[in-house]
Structure 1
């Protein structure tokens, strides 16, 4: 079988795609893959490192306001469809799977017009413009949140979960703790704002450092590489408590996630899939700077079921920040209850479910 995968722009679209590819490789070793992205996106760097064939098209996203740039985007879309049809024919694709980002638009649309079976995978509780557009043309729509069903034709929707979640299962939490320099028998909160960090979360941590130093738990604080030097300058003035470890980035995040008791983070779809897969309670501070405010809606899918605490960025204060961490880590019954709720929201074997959906769609063609 020849499988084309397209997804780009952010890791939230790319890593689920790679997780799916790895699952297919385990189940069907003779499958050939082609990944179509853009040269400007992260996929152009990440995918080739995985030894997956990569081709690019030129496309940009639509602006939400009327502009001349949108006219140019329409023209790029038309060219992107033309280029995608050529690539798909040359590769002789059997199925095309889109995992999000505007690059999927012309690729998946071109496949549908060529009569090639198609699937899109929506990671968020609220879909973006591209997947809403493609939902009219594809054969199946795989979703990760029940809340996303309402935006798509019901007959096409299948709840599969996020393939990335499958990759964090069965991780060695002890190894993760040791790799990060954490003590094994001490309650631990991981605070992270994403790969690039988040300034409001960094500010809250810096203001809380002295108080953290008086707590019986340990803090692993990941600043993001962009903010690390600035944070270190502040820490030199305030002081770095012995129970607070500060790092710019963590490369083995699944292992570390498996070893901590609580996570404070943004509410990206991949992060939430990992947390529910592992059953890790969380305090979620959604980014307000994303399309359709989808991170807050993602977070509510957990907080409304007792698996997380939601704090809007505008409500993030030093006092509340520390208080919410204390109320979870220092209350064993609450911690256990949140773990149970998180596990209940997880979708087991997400990558396998998506693989079976792919088989179903390709067999019908």
Structure 2
């Protein structure tokens, strides 16, 4: 069996694709894969490290208004469609999978036109333009949420949930506590703005940590993002926060083992990317969500609102975020164990830990036609 996979630009498109590939390999060990991305996206670094064959198409996303640069990008897109068709003809896949990003468009379109069974996996509550267009051509659509189903043809759409790494479920709380020197009898708040960090969240955390440094009953792990780490440490120092004297507060540039950190978290402060939310709900972690305001189609706010309406999270819009507001919500939730437990239960009900396996079975079912 030969399967072509495409997803690029951000980790939110790449890691679900890799997770689906792993689930397929577990079922069909002899399966061959070709991952198609771009040279500029994170996939150019991540995918080869997974030991997967990797091919590229030279594409860029379009700006949302008419420009000369868009005309040049349109020319590249036409060339990209031609290359995608050649890749499909040469690889001769039994199925093609797209997990988002503009690079998926040419590959899945070329595969569909060649009669290859195709599947797109939509992570967000509100789909992006690429997947909306592809939905007319593909064989099946796997959505991460029930809300997303209304944007696609009902006959070909299945809600599977979003695929998550197996490590998310197997990571142990005690290992996380040991790694960061935290106590097992106090709550842990995990704060992360994603792999690159979130300046708005980091700045709001300065006031929170200033107040928390003298109150060790709650432990904090803040991942600032590599580009923000030095600036955040300087802001904390200027605010009078002495991290060396507060072992219950840890500030790191990047979490190389996010599942381990999630395993010990009693509450999370996160952006609202679909992959991060899938991991939180799989573990049943209540959250305070601060959606990234410039995400395409404002999808992060829609993602966050869905969790809030389900009782699994509280949302603070980026424009409303401040140290005072964040501290207020943290204090409210941490001082009411029953409310936190209810949120955890609501989060767990939303979790779909079996999503990758279900998507893999869906791919195998269309490939067998």
Determine if the TM-score, normalized by the shorter chain, exceeds 0.5. Answer: yes
1:151 positional shift:
1.3
* Residue 277 of structure 1 pairs with residue 282 of structure 2: yes
Segments of 5+ residues of structure 2 without an aligned counterpart are none
**Could you tell me which residue of structure 2 aligns to residue 240 of structure 1?**
242
CA distance in 1, matches of 2:156, 2:69: 33
CA distance in 2, matches of 1:228, 1:205: 13
Task: Indicate if the aligned counterparts of 2:125 and 2:145 stay in contact, CA closer than 8 A.
Answer: yes
CA distance in 2, matches of 1:71, 1:129: 18
CA distance in 2, matches of 1:150, 1:214: 49
CA distance in 2, matches of 1:170, 1:239: 34
* Residue 323 of structure 1 pairs with residue 324 of structure 2: no
1:33 positional shift:
0.7
Q: Give TM-score, length-normalised by structure 1.
A: 0.97
CA distance in 2, matches of 1:256, 1:184: 13
1:179 positional shift:
1.6
**Could you tell me which residue of structure 2 aligns to residue 299 of structure 1?**
304
Task: Indicate if the aligned counterparts of 1:261 and 1:281 stay in contact, CA closer than 8 A.
Answer: yes
1:166 positional shift:
4.8
Q: Give deviations 1:44-86, integer Å, cap 9, x for gaps.
A: 0000000000000111112211223333233222211111111
Q: Give deviations 1:70-127, integer Å, cap 9, x for gaps.
A: 3323322221111111112211211110000000010111101111110001011111
Task: Indicate if the aligned counterparts of 1:267 and 1:284 stay in contact, CA closer than 8 A.
Answer: yes
**Could you tell me which residue of structure 1 aligns to residue 213 of structure 2?**
213
CA distance in 2, matches of 1:229, 1:122: 35
CA distance in 2, matches of 1:360, 1:25: 15
CA distance in 2, matches of 1:63, 1:233: 36
* Residue 70 of structure 1 pairs with residue 70 of structure 2: yes
CA distance in 2, matches of 1:166, 1:160: 16
Q: 1:252 aligns with which of 252, 257, 274?
A: 257
CA distance in 2, matches of 1:318, 1:263: 16
When structure 1 is superposed on structure 2, of 216-225 and 63-72 the one drifting more is: 63-72
* Residue 268 of structure 1 pairs with residue 269 of structure 2: no
CA distance in 1, matches of 2:301, 2:18: 26
Q: 1:360 aligns with which of 346, 365, 368?
A: 365
Q: Give TM-score, length-normalised by structure 2.
A: 0.96
When the two chains are superposed, the root-mean-square deviation of aligned CA atoms in Å is 1.2
Task: Indicate if the aligned counterparts of 1:166 and 1:351 stay in contact, CA closer than 8 A.
Answer: no
When structure 1 is superposed on structure 2, of 169-178 and 141-150 the one drifting more is: 169-178
CA distance in 1, matches of 2:196, 2:50: 22
Runs ≥4 in structure 1, deviation > 6 angstroms? none
The SS at the match of 2:90 is helix
* Residue 309 of structure 1 pairs with residue 314 of structure 2: yes
CA distance in 2, matches of 1:183, 1:249: 21
